[in-house]
Amino acid sequence: MSNYSNYTNKEMQAITIAKIIEDGQIVIVGTGLPLIGASLAKRVFAPNCKLIVESGLMDCSPIEVPRSVGDNRFMAHCAVQWPNIRFIGFETNEWLHDEKRMIAFIGGAEIDPYGNVNSTSMGDYNHPKTRFTGSGGANGISTFVNTVIMMQHEKRRFTDKIDYITSPGWIDGPEGRTKKGLPSNRGPIAVVTDRGVMKFDEKTKRMYLHGYYPTSSPEDVKENTGFDIDVSRAVPLEAPDPEVIRMIREEIDPGQAFIKVPKEA
């Protein structure tokens, strides 16, 4: 008999994503954990949310977990197949009309205290130690849409200064986006990691620990963050319902494409 109480941190991460999504929201999502979280939200927490991807597919309801945003499994159960340029216009139009119904998920290799994300290169840009895949659509998304950032929580990733800003966060504080000519009514709202959830202070726009998983602690988060982070407001997050874990493993990602099921002892 399967054990659905032995959840993993990745499953906790996906469930946390699902709970952030509000009913009726339009959700820009890619593959991996954000898609699993968004699919779970559509099934359990926010049944009227609409999933869209940057390849131009709108209102997606994939039965199997797609491997990319151009996967036929995305196309088979979507309402509209738009050209990519119309997707970009759609997210910009939401900002122009100051709509609050859109949320997006992005990731990266590095993040700083103000939610600026690097997914381009490490070290000197012209002679990098490591070159990554780059922005994709993340720069436009982080410019015009409120974002949730997905990261693995390691000190080398959470650093006081990143080598390159691929996706702008709050830049350097409350006036940072305005000074750079970016929409000040958009920006990162949360960072979801394998240890907990970070949010951004309303006044300073600096990251703080909002909640931690049963497998983590405020001390654990501080130890694995490369800059000083406020943990005084942190609250423990509930362990997931076994039925939700069953849904992830049996319905959403049964092939374990993105989340590996722990082996029984």
Among all residues, which ones are annotated catalytic?
54
Highest mean pLDDT among 77-81, 158-162, 261-265 belongs to: 158-162
C-alpha distances in Å from residue 139, one per residue of 13, 33, 167, 196: 23, 20, 5, 24
Contact 104, 186 (CB under 8 A): no
- 165: its two tokens: 């800003």
pLDDT on residue 80: 87
C-alpha distances in Å from residue 33, one per residue of 108, 120, 143, 147, 231: 13, 21, 22, 15, 25
- 114: its two tokens: 């103000």
Q: 90: how many CB neighbours lie within 10 A of its CB?
A: 17
Cα separation, 93 vs 90, in Å, equals 5
Q: What's this model's pTM, rounded to 2 decimal places?
A: 0.94
Domain boundaries, the chain: 9-252
Architecture of domain 9-252: 3-Layer(aba) Sandwich (3.40)
Output DSSP code: residue 262: P
pLDDT in tens, 185-224: 999 999 999 999 999 999 999 999 999 999 999 999 999 9
pLDDT in tens, 107-152: 999 999 999 999 999 999 999 999 988 888 899 999 999 999 999 9
Nearest by Cα to 95 from 156, 145, 170: 145
Name the residue with higher pLDDT: 63 or 107: 107
pLDDT in tens, 149-172: 999 999 999 999 999 999 999 999
Give the DSSP per-residue string, 142-180.
HHHSEEEEE----TTTBBSS-S--SB-SSTTSTTHHHHT
Task: Provide the pLDDT confidence category of residue 59 given band limits of 50, 70 and 90.
Answer: very high
Task: Provide the pLDDT confidence category of residue 61 given band limits of 50, 70 and 90.
Answer: confident
